[in-house]
Structure 1
Amino acid sequence: MSELTMDWSCWTRRCALPWVCAVLLVGAVTGCKKEEGGATAEAAATPRAAVVPVTRQAVTKNLTVAGEFIPFQEVELHAKVAGYIRKISVDIGDKVRTGQVLATLEIPELTAQVSGAEAGIRHSQEEVTLAKSQVARAEADHNALHMAAERLKQAATARPGMIAQQEIDDAEAKDSSSEAQVEVAKATVAAQQQQMEVAKAEHLHYSSLAGYSKITAPFDGIVTWRYADTGALIQAGTSNVGSMPVVKVAQVNVLRLRIPVPESLAGYVRDGDTADVLVQATGDHFTGKVVRTTGALDRTTRSLQVEVDVPNPKSKLTPGMYADVTLRIAGNPSALTVPVQAVDQGPNGASVLVVDANNNVQRRPVQIGLETPDKVQILSGVHDGERVIVGNLASFEPGQKVNPRASAMVASGKEE
C-alpha cells in the first residue's frame, strides 16, 4: 500500500503542476488586461490638443485701398496790390513756365507814388550837396579866423602890451565859433544823407509794389482755373477784406498719389514700401514707392496719409482720378509668429495657451504686432519653439493636462 500511495502522490503532483501554471498564467493575463484598461481610461480622460510650435517667419502685410491723385503743387495766385486787370494772357488748360507773366494790373496811384519817391531822392541829393557846400564855407571861414587869432597871439607875444587883450579874446572867440559852425555843417550833411536813405527806401518800397503789378507763374504747370477777366478790380491779397485770386496754377508733370492707411497699420508704414497701382480710368498699371507720410493720424478719419510720387510727363493722369493701390507694408523678415487660431483677443488683451514640458496648459498674455490672414506676429510673451494650442481655445483651462498632437497648418491658416 505504501508503494501505491507514493505512486499516487507523484502522479498527483505531476498532473497538478500544469494546472497550477495555467491558473497563474490566466491570473497574470487578467492583471495585465486590467492595467491596460486603466491606462486606456486615463488616456481617454486626457483631452487632446492640437499644437504648433512658435516659429520665426517673414511677416508682410498687404493693404488694398483707393488712392487719389492730386497735383504735386497747386496755388491760387493773388495780387499783392489792389488794381484793375489791364491784361490777362492765360486761360484754363494753358501750360505755363516759371516766371511767365500771367496778368498785368493797372495801378495809377502806385505809379504816382513811385514818381513821388523818385522826386524825394532827387531832393535829398540836392540837400546833401547844399549841406556839403556849407561845410566847405564854414571850414574856410574857420581857417581865416583861426589864422587871424594865431597872428594876434604871436604879435602879442613878440611885443607885450602892443595889442590889447580884449582884441585877442575876441579873435579867439570867433575862432572857436567858426569851428563850431564847421561841426554843425557836417552834422547837417549827415542828417541829409540819412534823409536820402529814407527816400531811397521809400522808392524801393513803391518800386517793389509796382513789380507786383505783374502776376507771374511760380513754377512750371498748367492753369486749372481763371477767376477774373480784363477790367476786373482785384483787391490786394494782404488786405483784411476778402480778395479774389486771379488764376490757379497746378504742377501736374508729377502727381502725388495720396493713400489713407487705417490706424491699425499706420505704425508699420515706412518710406520705400512698395505700392502696386492700378488706374481704372486709363488702365495703367505700375509700381511706386512710398516717399512720405503725414506722420500723424487725421483726427476725422483716423487714418495716416501716405504719398507716392507718380511721374506724369504726358499728362495722361489728371488730378482727381482714383486708383486701386495695393500697399505692401514692410514687416519683419524674422518675426516670432503663431497661427491666427492660436491667439485669443479678449477684453483684457491678447493671450495664447502654451503647453509646457509636462503637457500642462499655461495662459500667456502676449503683445501682438503685424497681422496677416494666416499668422500673427508676437512681439513678447512666448519664445521660439514653444508649443501653443490652435483651435477650440475656450475648451482648455490653465493648469489642465492635455494630450498634445501636432497640427499641420497650411498657408491659409486651416488645419489639414
Structure 2
Amino acid sequence: MRCRRRNHPRRGKRVNSNDGIPRKTAGRRHVLILGAATLVLAACGRDPAGPPSRAALPEVAVQAVASTVINVVNELPGRTTAYRVAEVRPQVNGVVKQRLFEEGSEVEEGEQLYQIDDAIYQAAHRKAAANLRTAELQAGRYAELAKVNAVSRQAHDDAQAAHQQARAEAELARINLTYSKVLSPISGRIGRSAVSEGALVTNGQATAMATVQQLEPIYVDMTQSSVELMGLRKAMETGQIRQDGKRGAPVRLRLEDGSIYEHEGTLQFSEVEVSPGTGSVTLRAQFPNPDRKLLPGMFVHAQVDSGRRDGVYLVPNQALMLGNGRSTVYVVDAENRIEARRVFNERMVDGQWMVTDGLREGDRIVVEGRQKVRPGAEVRIAGREQDAAGDPAVELATANPAAAR
C-alpha cells in the first residue's frame, strides 16, 4: 500500500506569525505603534499647572499718564440780547403823514422817524401863546397899580396866577406840537414799521410803531448751575481766572456754524436768584459788535474761563468704564498684571476725560484690548508704550461737564 506524503514544515524553518501579511505593511504598523506610545508618555509627563507661554497672554496697549495743569473753560449755551431796546410809540393822537426812515437801517438818537398831522397842535400852540401874552400884560398892569394901592391885593395875586397858568398852557401846547414829530429815543438799528402813512395812532397805544435796538455792544445771556457759579466765584477770588482790571472774566463765543467769534467779551454779572425749577443762574457777558455780525436772538455757546486745575490727568474716553459717580480704568502694574482702579472723571476736555482722583504719576492705563482682560490677569504689552496725554505745561482746554458717569 502506498503512503501519502504529508506536508510538514521543513526542519529548522521559523514560523512567522505574520504569514500572509506583506513585510512592508507590518513595518509601518510597528512605527505607528511606537509613535503613539511616545506621545502618550510625553503627555503624561507634562505638568498641567505650569505657566502658559508668553505668546498665549492677552495683548493690550497701554498709556502712561502724567499730571498736567489745565485752564478749564466751561461752554455754556446762551442767546444774544440787544444792549438797549426802545419801542417807538406816539405821545399824541393823530394821523401819520410821513415815514422818514428806511426799515433795517441805522438811526441816531433824536432822528425823526414819523410825522403826525400837526395842524391842530399848531393852532393850539398859537392860541396858548396869545393867552400868555394877554395874561402877561394884565399881570404887569396890576403890579404897577398895586404899588399905589389902586387895586386890591387879591386882584393882584389873581393876575399873577393867571399869568403863570397861561405860561404853563403855552408850554404844554409847544410840547404837543413837538410830539407830532416822532423821534428815535436811542441810536441803533430800526426794524420794520408797524404803521404806514394814513394810519391813526393814539397816545399810549399798546402796539409799537417800530423798535430800535442798539447792537454795539451786545449782550449774551447764558445759564449756569449754582454749584458751578460758586466755583467760578471762588476761582475769581483766588486769582485763578485772569481779569482785566475792573472788568470781569474773559469770555469767548462759538457761533452757530462752529466758528469762533473774533472779539473777546467780558463777564458782567449773574442773576440775584437761583431758579427753583432748574437750579441754574443766568449769567450775562458783554461783547463788542462793530460789524453787527451778532444779532439779537442768535443761539451761541459762551466759553467761560472757570479757573486753573493742577495735578489732573487726561485719559482717553475708550480707557474708562463709566459708572455712577465714579468710573473704572484698568492699570497694568509692575508685574504686567491688571488692576481695576476707581477714578473720578470730572468732565470732558477736548475729547478726553479729566481725571482728578484715583490715578498716580506714571500709571500705565489700558487704552486698547480692555475687553480681553480681567483684574488679576497677566498681559503682554503691545508695541511701544504710548506717551502720556497732555503736556505738563499749561493747557487751554474747552470743557463740558459730564452729564452722566
Q: TM-score when scaled to structure 1?
A: 0.51
Aligned position for 1:114? 125
Q: How does 1:299-378 map to 2 (within 5 A)?
A: 299=276, 301-330=278-307, 373-375=354-356
Q: Does 1:288 align with 2:265?
A: yes
Aligned position for 1:13? none
Contact 2:83 2:217 in 1 (8 A): yes
**Deviations for 1:175-213, whole angstroms, at most 9, x for unmatched residues?**
xxxxxx54x445423321221011111211222222222
**Among candidates 224, 228, 235, match of residue 191 of structure 2:** 224
Aligned position for 1:123? 134
Contact 2:224 2:281 in 1 (8 A): yes
Larger Rg: 1
Q: Which amino acid aligns with 1:275?
A: V
Aligned position for 1:65? 76
- 1:319 CA drift (Å): 2.1
Aligned-residue identity in percent:
18
**Deviations for 1:254-286, whole angstroms, at most 9, x for unmatched residues?**
211221112332333447233232213383344
Contact 2:252 2:260 in 1 (8 A): no
Aligned position for 1:247? 210
C-alpha spacing 1:133/1:310, structure 2 compared with 1 (3 Å): closer
RMSD (Å), alpha carbons: 3.8
Q: Does 1:193 align with 2:160?
A: yes
**Deviations for 1:100-146, whole angstroms, at most 9, x for unmatched residues?**
1111111444333323321221221232233245446xx3xxxxxxx
Q: Distance in 1 between matches of 2:170 and 2:258?
A: 55
Q: Distance in 2 between matches of 1:91 and 1:190?
A: 54
**Deviations for 1:321-344, whole angstroms, at most 9, x for unmatched residues?**
22222222247x899xxxxxxxx9
Between structures 1 and 2, the one with greater helix share: 1
Q: How does 1:12-411 map to 2 (within 5 A)?
A: 62-132=73-143, 134-135=145-146, 139=148, 181-182=149-150, 184-237=151-204, 242-270=205-233, 272-281=248-257, 283-286=259-262, 287-299=264-276, 301-330=278-307, 373-375=354-356
SS at match of 1:308: strand
Contact 2:193 2:209 in 1 (8 A): yes
C-alpha spacing 1:74/1:135, structure 2 compared with 1 (3 Å): closer
Q: Which amino acid aligns with 1:260?
A: T
Structure 2 unaligned residues grouped into runs of 5+: 1-67, 234-246, 312-323, 326-345, 348-353, 358-387, 391-405
Q: Distance in 1 between matches of 2:276 and 2:162?
A: 56
Q: Which amino acid aligns with 1:261?
A: Q
SS at match of 1:250: strand
Q: TM-score when scaled to structure 2?
A: 0.53
Deviating beyond 6 angstroms after TM superposition, the runs of 4 or more aligned structure 1 residues are 57-60
Q: Which amino acid aligns with 2:302?
A: V
SS at match of 1:225: coil
- 1:289 CA drift (Å): 2.2
Q: Distance in 1 between matches of 2:280 and 2:304?
A: 14
Contact 1:132 1:186 in 2 (8 A): no
Contact 2:265 2:288 in 1 (8 A): no
